[in-house]
């Protein structure tokens, strides 16, 4: 089920590539076995990839895309992918890429399915999955990674990828072009950094999962320090004293001399007053920010928390569950976040991520994409490269958490705490034959095994 791309010896014109059909596969990886992905809100998660393949009129030229879930719910996204993929069947790649902003608008314009959103939740995850596959296909035809396609665009071409509906009160296409023209300065130097694998610094969540014991946390922390990491993220929210003990153990290793930084992440577990009071007990450990301190839709709540924590030198980060560009617009307008954590599969693919990058640039807020799972890190390594080279010109950092990467055909790599710039044509999506044999849900080899069946029978959470 792999894919072979067009080669430079036999280039394929986008107008000669037609999408004929598609397949959708429910892939689920048993991350609950090692605690990767665990936090105060999400327990026993199994990182899952609703996976779409766009079949074209050229044998083995396939566009691959994913959405994401924590396990249960993937079947809903796969159903939505089946629905939204029909909108690109029969289209040529030229029709879909000649005006990507218009293509985004087309993908969200089914008036009946739109009522279920609009532009949010399961339907928007499906739109992202299909558009991710379109971008992947475009890269394979052009023989370029997706980040390079965008970075070679003019400011006008980048702006044409964005649907500005609902955000022109903050930024207009004309203003976007003007901002991007200023970013052209120094672009060649930034491109050189990308080719040298120095464009995207990495931080890691690997030691910080909630399920890790103190001993396991210290072990992974030592490993990641040895790999060159200087910035680490830890999950919090199960109890003040428990978190104080964990963070004290972290600072006992890292110290307070400024060489190492930590961030903490509550994953939506608190109300606004709880977040403020709880964080007063953790500020002594000097976190750079608290991530998702409350419900992701509560823009004004985030603003209240940010204002309360500012005297302590602690920022607020959010966005991994922000439903669309409108939520990010409001977060920025309300001065509710210090960091925009765009998500490659919750927002409407590269198109909507570009919209948020531009708004964040206007408000001088860094974009630090959400990761935390394999598959996402591959996509966001493109997005962070795009933001640095073509949009903001500001070097930020990108989360990394290593798990189940052996199942990917194009896994991201970290060298000297920097992402290795992806060079394979496309959007770094695709799975090994073994992964497809083992982890298709519910009939793959692993899910039919005794361990797989036990995971499937696990409690679903909550109490009465």
Catalytic residue among 235, 382, 404, 418: 235
**HEC string of the chain?**
CCCCCCCCCCCCCHHHCEEEEEEEEEEECCHHHCCCCCCCCCCCCCCEEEEEEEEECCCCCEEEEECCECCCCHHHHHHHHHHHHCCCCCCEHHHHHCCHHHHHHHHCCCHHHHCCCCCCHHHHHHHHHHHHHHHHHHHHHHCCEHHHHHHCCCHHHHHCCCCCCCCCCCCCHHHHHHHHHHHCCCHHHHHHHHHCCCCCEEEECCCCCCCCCHHHHHHHHHHHHHCCCCEEEEECCCCHHHHHHHHHHHHHHHCCCCCCEEEEECCCCCCHHHHHHHHHCCHHHCEEEEECCCCCCCHHHHHHHHHHHHHHCCEEEECCCCCCHHHHHHHHHCCCCCEECCCCCCCCHHHHHHHHHHHHHHCCCCECCCCCCCCHHHHHHHHHHHHHHHHCCCCCCEEECCCCHHHECCCCCEECCEECCCCCCECCCCECHHHHHHHECCCCHHHHCHHHHHHHCCCCCCCC
281 classed as catalytic: no
235 classed as catalytic: yes
Catalytic residue among 58, 370, 404, 410: 370
Catalytic residues: 235, 370
């Amino acid at each position: 089920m792999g894919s072979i791309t067009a080669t430079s010896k036999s280039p394929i014109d986008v107008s000669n590539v037609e999408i004929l059909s598609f397949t959708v596969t429910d892939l689920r990886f048993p991350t609950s076995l090692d605690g990767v992905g665990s936090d105060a809100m999400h327990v026993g998660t199994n990182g899952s990839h609703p996976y779409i393949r766009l079949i074209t009129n050229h044998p083995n030229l396939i566009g691959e895309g994913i959405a994401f879930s924590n396990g249960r719910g993937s079947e809903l996204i796969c159903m939505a992918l089946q629905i939204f993929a029909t909108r690109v069947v029969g289209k040529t790649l030229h029709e879909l890429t000649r005006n990507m902003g218009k293509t985004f608008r087309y993908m969200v314009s089914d008036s009946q399915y739109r009522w279920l959103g609009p532009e949010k939740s399961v339907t928007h995850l499906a739109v992202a999955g299909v558009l991710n596959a379109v971008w992947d296909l475009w890269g394979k035809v052009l023989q370029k990674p997706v980040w390079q396609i965008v970075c070679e665009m003019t400011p006008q071409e980048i702006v044409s990828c964005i649907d500005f509906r609902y955000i022109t009160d903050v930024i207009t296409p004309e203003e976007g072009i003007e901002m991007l023209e200023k970013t052209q300065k120094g672009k060649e130097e930034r491109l050189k950094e990308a080719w040298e694998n120095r464009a995207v610094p990495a931080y890691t969540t690997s030691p910080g999962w909630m399920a890790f014991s103190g001993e396991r946390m210290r072990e992974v922390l030592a490993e990641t320090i040895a790999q060159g990491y200087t910035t680490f993220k830890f999950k919090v929210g199960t109890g003040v004293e428990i978190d104080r003990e964990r963070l004290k153990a972290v600072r006992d290793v890292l110290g307070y001399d400024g060489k190492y930084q930590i961030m903490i992440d509550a994953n939506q577990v608190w109300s606004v007053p709880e977040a403020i009071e709880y964080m007063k007990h953790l500020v002594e450990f000097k976190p750079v920010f608290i991530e998702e301190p409350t419900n992701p839709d509560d823009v004004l709540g985030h603003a209240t928390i940010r204002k309360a924590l500012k005297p302590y030198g602690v920022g607020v980060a959010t966005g991994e569950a922000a439903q669309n560009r409108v939520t990010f617009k409001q977060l920025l307008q309300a001065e509710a976040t210090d960091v925009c954590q765009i998500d490659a599969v919750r927002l409407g693919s590269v198109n909507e991520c570009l919209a948020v990058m531009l708004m964040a640039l206007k408000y001088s807020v860094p974009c630090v994409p959400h990761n935390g799972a394999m598959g996402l890190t591959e996509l966001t390594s493109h997005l962070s490269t795009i933001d640095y080279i073509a949009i903001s010109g500001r070097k930020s950092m990108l989360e990394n958490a290593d798990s189940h990467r052996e199942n990917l055909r194009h896994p991201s790599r970290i060298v000297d705490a920097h992402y290795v710039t992806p060079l394979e044509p496309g959007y770094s999506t695709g799975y090994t034959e073994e992964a497809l044999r083992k982890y298709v849900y519910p009939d793959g080899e692993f899910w039919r095994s005794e361990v797989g069946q036990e995971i499937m029978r696990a409690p679903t959470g909550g109490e009465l």
